[in-house]
Amino acid sequence: MSEDEQRERTTNYIGVGLALGAGIGTAIGVAFGAAFGNVAMGAAFGPSIGASIGLVVGIFLSQSQSEDDDE
């Protein structure tokens, strides 16, 4: 795999991880916010926490995929 293809794949995994993380984080944040009586706070912090987790997952997936391609 060329370096450009690997870079594009890494970007795709990171983008998917960020999008999914932000979406899931929003849902969880609103749910916890509703449970504890402060939906606005949950809606504010949920996406950022979810995006952070999604970024880590996206980087992990891109790196593990890269190692599989090298073999």
pTM: 0.72
Number of compact structural domains in the chain: 1
**Is 5 part of any domain?**
no
Containing structural domain, residue 53: 18-66
Residue 37 in any domain: the answer is: yes
Q: What is the pLDDT of residue 71?
A: 58
**What is the pLDDT confidence band of residue 67, given thresholds at 50, 70 and 90?**
low
User: What are the tens digits of pLDDT across the range 22-57?
Assistant: 889 889 999 988 898 898 888 888 888 888 888 888
Alpha carbon distance 48, 36 (integer Å): 19
pLDDT tops 80 at residue 69: no
Whether 1 maps to a domain, the answer reads: no
Cβ contacts of residue 44 below 8 Å, gap of 6+?
Answer: 29
Confidence of residue 68 (pLDDT cuts 50, 70, 90): low
Nearest to 13 by CA among 52, 68, 51, 55: 55
- Considering the domain boundaries, does residue 57 fall inside one? yes
Classify residue 4: in a domain, yes or no.
no
Tokens standing for residue 26: 């929003």
**Neighbour tally for 39: CB within 10 Å:** 15
Residue 2 lies in a domain: no
In a domain, 3, yes or no: no
| Residue 13 belongs to some domain of the structure | no
